[in-house]
Amino acid sequence: MSKRYPVRQGKTYGSLRESLATAFKAPLGLLKSRNGSDRRADNSHFLALHDVNFDVEPGEVLGLIGSNGAGKSTLLKILSRITRPTAGHIELYGRVRSLLEVGTGFHPELTGRENVFLNGAILGMRRNETARRFDEIVAFAEVEKFIDTPVKHYSSGMYVRLAFAVAAHMKPEILLVDEVLAVGDQRFWQKSTDKMRELNARGMTIVLVTHNMWLIQTVCTRGILLEHGQIVAEGRPQLVIDAYRRAAESSRQESVITSTPAKGEATVMSLQLLPLGEWASEREATPESGVRLSFVAHIPAHPRVKFFIRITSPDGIPFFTVYSELQTVPSSRRLACQAEIPRLMVIGGDYFVWAGVCSDRSQEDIVAQAHVPLFVSDLDASQAETGLFYNRANWEIDCTGSQSGA
């Protein structure tokens, strides 16, 4: 399907005299060229979606990612039947509930209580069904004190809490969620995320638009990357995330950094990442690969420090950190370090490798740090279904069914 919007380029509001003059010059409201065609150029329309085609299986959690203006929200509005596609069509099987914008689906003049029952009726539920779930909805939304207040007086956070609670507890077959959850606080965001996992475990199909890559990576079963209204990548969440990040980066950082310390400031002067063991290629490690790090730090003000190495996502989410023993800083104020990690044990994807120095309080007092990029390719695509880390086990299985005595 495709969706096209008209673009009113250079349109201004003039005087009544100017409007009348324009109307007399072009009575039909169109300026035609000699051959009768519209003189407006092709850029008079904006193609928000272009030949988008995909299926969502029952029970899937599909994550839609892409830069601003890629067409994600337009796609959800079409799936929600708020707007129609210009070309093509959609097929939906099951009751659909949408969370697209703050206040969507609520009547501002009605109270929270009245809106809960209104939304239940919109979803085709009987009043007694909604009544049975009412207390659970209000408790989840944490709006007990304001449930009989018109929702026009709610804060954006209260709006979202109640809207999500209604959507989650009315049990539609399909839930469409835009970036609206970002309005809530961190605690409710986590609560909502856990609820989505629970609903999906019960068979609900969820389509999720978010810029939170951690949510895509940990909640979604499949991802789609949109660019300029077209699907450019589709598949496992981590691979789609990697495609998104590579597209967003104009140039990839090198695996070596150098810097000159400012006077009186601690600095990682150089950091080099080298392969250890077998790599898929010169720039691509595997979960079984190791890395060797070599770095030099200038430490003017701390008598004793620790070295550390940390693997994180590009979003800064840490996967693991290892620390050295406490070291005495020499009179030269320079310390050189080499460290090896024999096995990365992370699934395929983009990562940052951080190296630095800290005080004896470790993470609470980082003195200086720097990072280089690391790409890990999939050793075995099936391993990605097991979580964020990769590992192996030695198995001994008795196929005869006999058990040895203890």
Exposure of 396 in the CB half-sphere (CA atoms within 13 A):
3
Q: Which of 202, 229, 248 marks a domain boundary?
A: 248
Burial class (CB in 10 A: 0-12, 13-18, 19+), 171: middle
Residues 228 and 296 both lie in one domain: no
Model confidence at 324, in pLDDT bands (50, 70, 90)?
very high
Q: Establish if 21 belongs to a structural domain.
A: no
Q: What is the mean pLDDT of residues 319-342?
A: 92
Q: What is the pLDDT of residues 7-37, one digit of tens each?
A: 765 555 555 666 666 555 555 444 444 444 4
- Which among 124, 107, 126, 123 has a CA at the least distance from the CA of 115? 107
Answer yes or no: do 217 and 169 share one domain.
Answer: yes
CATH number at residue 100: 3.40.50.300
Q: Does 388 reside within a domain?
A: no
The verdict on residue 300 lying in a domain is yes
Please, what is the average pLDDT of the chain? 81
- Answer yes or no: do 134 and 238 share one domain: yes
Is 402 a domain residue? Answer: no
Residues 55 and 113 grouped into a single domain: yes
Where are the alpha helices (H) located in 273-390, listed in sequence order?
Answer: none
Contact between 73 and 23 (Cβ < 8 Å): no
Rg (CA), the chain: 28
The pLDDT assigned to 126 comes to 84
Quick one: tokens of 285? 């490690």
- Which residue is associated with the tokens 């994550």? 63
Phi, psi values for residue 361, rounded to 5°: -90, 5
Q: Are residues 213 and 307 in the same domain?
A: no
- Domain boundary, last residue among 232, 248, 264: 248
Which residue, 140, 143, 189, 190, is CA-closest to 168? 140
d(CA 351, CA 317): 10
User: Could you give phi then psi for residue 244, rounded to 5 degrees?
Assistant: -65, -45
Boundaries of domain holding 182: 49-248
Categorize the per-residue pLDDT at 213 as very low, low, confident or very high, splitting at 50, 70 and 90.
confident
Question: Is the separation of the CB atoms in 307 and 280 below 8 Å?
Answer: no
Tell me what pLDDT residue 17 has: 61
Residues 193 and 84 in one domain: yes
Domains held by the chain: number: 2
79 pLDDT band, cuts 50/70/90, is: very high
What's the pLDDT at 12?
54
- For residues 127 and 13, give the distance between their C-alpha atoms in angstroms, rounded to a whole number: 49
Residue 19: both structure tokens together = 């409007």
- Tokens standing for residue 339: 């460290």
Residue 313 in any domain: the answer is yes
Bridge-based pairing of strands 61-65 and 222-227 is parallel
Q: What is the pTM of this model?
A: 0.61
Q: What is the pLDDT of residues 257-312, one digit of tens each?
A: 666 766 678 899 899 999 999 998 888 899 999 999 999 999 988 889 999 999 99
Does residue 266 share a domain with residue 238? no
Residue-wise over 154-169: b if at least 16 C-beta within 10 A, else e? Answer: beeebbbbbbbbbbbb
Backbone angles phi, psi at 151, to 5 degrees: -70, -10
Mean pLDDT check: name the lowest of 89-93, 224-228, 393-397: 393-397
From CA 395, how far away is CA 335, in angstroms rounded?
Answer: 44
Please name the helix (run of DSSP H) or strand (run of DSSP E) that holds residue 354, with its range, or none: strand 349-358
Residue 230 shares a structural domain with residue 305: no
In a domain, 401, yes or no: no
Taking the C-alpha atoms of residue 230 and residue 74, their distance in angstroms, rounded to an integer, is 12
CATH number for 365? 2.70.50.60
pLDDT above 70 covers a percentage of the chain that reads: 80
CA-closest candidate to residue 88, choices 63, 60, 54, 44:
54
CA distances from 316 to 229, 253, 287 (A): 28, 16, 19
Whether residues 160 and 280 fall in one domain: no
Residue 34 placed within a domain: no
Whole-number Å distance between alpha carbons of 247 and 233: 11
Q: Where are the alpha helices (DSSP H) in 146-300?
A: 156-169, 186-201, 213-219, 237-248
Pair (89, 231) in one structural domain: yes
Q: Is residue 16 in some structural domain?
A: no
Both 244 and 276 in one domain: the answer is no
Complete DSSP assignment for 318-335: EEEEEE---EEPPTT-EE
Shared domain for 170 and 228, answered yes or no, is yes
Ramachandran class of 345: left when φ > 0, alpha when ψ lies in -120 to 50, beta otherwise: left
Residue 367: enclosing H or E segment and its boundaries? strand 366-376
Q: What is the pLDDT of residue 41?
A: 40
Tens digits of per-residue pLDDT, 160-186? 888 888 888 877 889 888 876 666 667
Classify strands 96-99 and 205-209 as parallel, antiparallel or unpaired. unpaired
Query: Which of the residue ranges 162-166, 368-372, 401-405 has the most confident prediction, judged by mean pLDDT?
Result: 368-372
Q: Which of 248, 280, 295 is the last residue of a domain?
A: 248
pLDDT bracket for residue 60 (50, 70, 90): very high
